[in-house]
Structure 1
Amino acid sequence: MSDFAEFSKLAVTLAPWRSQIVFVGGWAYRLYRYEPRAYKPDFAAIFTQDADVAFPARDALEGDIKEALVNAGFKEEPNFAGNFRPPAMRYTLGDEANGFYAEFLTPLTGSPMRRNSITKQFEPDATLANGGVVAQKLRHLEVLLHEPWLVTIPADESGLREAVADLRIPNPVSFIIQKLLIRDDRAREKRAQDVLYIYDALYLFSGGIEDDLLPVWKSLEATLTDAQRKSITAGIDVLFSRVNDLIREAVTIPTDRKIEPENMLKLCQNGFEELLGGA
């Protein structure tokens, strides 16, 4: 089964919750090419084996997502990283090592600690059980849930011989801004990948910044805290004020195209100037 067929199977399985969930992370980036407002590139999207599914922490997810996934052939496995209670779960498809899997995410707001009602001790507020699954809580994830866009995977590309319609993904502005906000929490190799993600998102939607992206930014900006606004400005300065090692690493990630570091920097600088007024 191809990775697109695996993702499509996940999306079809989660159809009853489609109006409440948003596909974020690397799969959102891959799905941007199905957005009618995106430039149609002649290069492939970066491969990703995991699908991140986000939902608002305040929303109750009716029904049992875990049961639906298990019935569709997914296997539930705990992710013990961080020793969180309860542990976040991942849902794998197939028996191959390092194969396709899905994880659930939800925003972390407020204090990162909570008081355990049984032990009376404070512990990380890192996971949330909802709809039969356990999601990991992440800071700044609410940015990705702001005004999501809809895309459809056409039948001839879904791997299922049917279109997979109305998938909610982050709008490109939220996608880019969240990458800036989480930069200090990312491993170095992930930072370089995020620089490439930002560049590609600005590249794909460069023709519609004023008409399509600027109104989204104005709407999103109104929801941000002062600390987040300052972090965005600092992130642009750290990542895109000059050609740096992260940009040099980012341009080496694609294997089917050549990007000059100076061209990556210039496009990003121009994109942020047009979108954020230089932030």
Structure 2
Amino acid sequence: MNDLEAFAKLVQALAAWRQQLIFIGGWGHRLHRLDPRANRPDYQPVFTRDTDLAFANKEPIEGDIKQSLLQHGFQEELSGDHRPPAAHYTLGDEAGGFYAEFLTPLAGSGRKRSGEADATMTKAGISAQKIRHLDVLLVDPWIISLGQQEGVPLPERIDVQVAHPLCFMVQKFLIQQYRPANKRAQDVLYIYDTIELFGALLDEFNVHWKARVAPALGGLADDVRKISTQTFAEVNDMVRDAARIPADRDLPPEQIQATCSYAFERMLRS
């Protein structure tokens, strides 16, 4: 089973909840390529076998997502000492198969009143991880239509939600301090590739930043501006490491730095 077949099974399993769940992470970025406004790159997206889905934990979600996943061939793999345990919903062998994870925003100190880590929760039958700075990915998601024409082997077209590309990039800056070096470099590549996809929309993204994203972030908006400037002020090790990731293209680190510096100056201007 290739990854598009596995992804199609996931989309079908989650069809009843497509208005509550938002594709984020690597598969969110991959779905961005299917938007009619996106440029059509001739290189492959960064590979990922996990699919991250975000939801707002304060809103009701009816039904049993876990049961639907099981009915479509997924298995629940639990791990860790949290209550409830963290979960992967896998299709295929655990070592090399496709899997989905559910994520929801973490608010407050990250500790329960008992002193335990406030790291997971149960919603609609599934175990989800609580992640700080996930809220911004819930702001004004885009709708992407999927079907045979896009290479997704679905019996009929289905619309899904995907994180807004600007929010996708902004969140990378907010989580940068928590990420290991290899993941920070991968995030830089995701940011650059997103700008490549939507370079014609920089001014539209600026309008969205001022009207919706910055107000949602509050004081963190200044942090995003500062971190984006620092990240792309020069060709640093993080940018160099990002340039080494793609195996199917020659990507000079100077190109990443210059492109991203220019783009964020336009997108985040006051």
Q: Which moved more, 1:139-148 or 1:231-240?
A: 231-240
Structure 2 gaps of 5+ residues are: none
Correspondence 1:122 to 2:115: yes
Which residue number corresponds to residue 14 of structure 1? Answer: 14
Equivalent pair of 1:140/1:178 in contact (CA under 8 Å) = yes
Runs of 4+ in 1 over 3 A off after TM superposition: 156-159, 161-164
CA deviations on 1:95-133 (whole Å, 9 max, x unpaired) are: 252311001000011221112xxxxx3111111111001
1: CA distance between counterparts of 2:253 and 2:54?
33
Which residue number corresponds to residue 118 of structure 1? Answer: none
Which residue number corresponds to residue 264 of structure 2? Answer: 272
CA deviations on 1:72-98 (whole Å, 9 max, x unpaired) are: 100001131xx2211121100012523
2: CA distance between counterparts of 1:20 and 1:41?
30
2: CA distance between counterparts of 1:162 and 1:143?
32
Q: Which moved more, 1:189-198 or 1:236-245?
A: 236-245
CA deviations on 1:32-81 (whole Å, 9 max, x unpaired) are: 1101111111111111000011100101210001100011100001131x
CA deviations on 1:201-255 (whole Å, 9 max, x unpaired) are: 11110111113x22221211111131x1232123113311100011111011111
1:158–1:131 Cα change, 3 Å: farther
Which residue number corresponds to residue 241 of structure 1? Answer: 233
Correspondence 1:140 to 2:133: yes
TM-score, reference length from structure 1: 0.92
Which residue number corresponds to residue 191 of structure 1? Answer: 184
Residue type at the aligned position of 1:238 = Q
Equivalent pair of 1:29/1:201 in contact (CA under 8 Å) = yes
Equivalent pair of 1:18/1:167 in contact (CA under 8 Å) = yes
2: CA distance between counterparts of 1:245 and 1:73?
42
Equivalent pair of 2:229/2:261 in contact (CA under 8 Å) = no
2: CA distance between counterparts of 1:50 and 1:260?
28
2: CA distance between counterparts of 1:204 and 1:217?
18
**What does residue range 205-224 of structure 1 map to in structure 2 within 5 Å?**
205-211=198-204, 213-218=205-210, 219-224=212-217
2: CA distance between counterparts of 1:189 and 1:164?
36
Residue 165 of structure 1: how far off its partner (Å) = 2.4
How many residues are aligned here? 269
Equivalent pair of 1:2/1:159 in contact (CA under 8 Å) = no
Which residue number corresponds to residue 55 of structure 1? Answer: 55
Correspondence 1:108 to 2:131: no
Residue 161 of structure 1: how far off its partner (Å) = 5.0
Residue type at the aligned position of 1:160 = P
Equivalent pair of 1:57/1:106 in contact (CA under 8 Å) = yes
1: CA distance between counterparts of 2:47 and 2:239?
19
Equivalent pair of 1:8/1:164 in contact (CA under 8 Å) = no
2: CA distance between counterparts of 1:268 and 1:231?
17
Partner SS for 1:76: strand
Partner SS for 1:92: strand
Which residue number corresponds to residue 98 of structure 1? Answer: 96
Which residue number corresponds to residue 160 of structure 1? Answer: 153
Q: Which moved more, 1:171-180 or 1:154-163?
A: 154-163
1: CA distance between counterparts of 2:27 and 2:167?
14
1: CA distance between counterparts of 2:97 and 2:183?
19
Partner SS for 1:122: coil
Residue type at the aligned position of 2:4 = F
Correspondence 1:25 to 2:28: no
Which residue number corresponds to residue 86 of structure 2? Answer: 88
Partner SS for 2:122: strand
Identity of aligned residues (%): 44
Partner SS for 2:158: strand
1: CA distance between counterparts of 2:149 and 2:227?
39
Residue 21 of structure 1: how far off its partner (Å) = 0.5
2: CA distance between counterparts of 1:59 and 1:167?
18
1: CA distance between counterparts of 2:13 and 2:235?
43
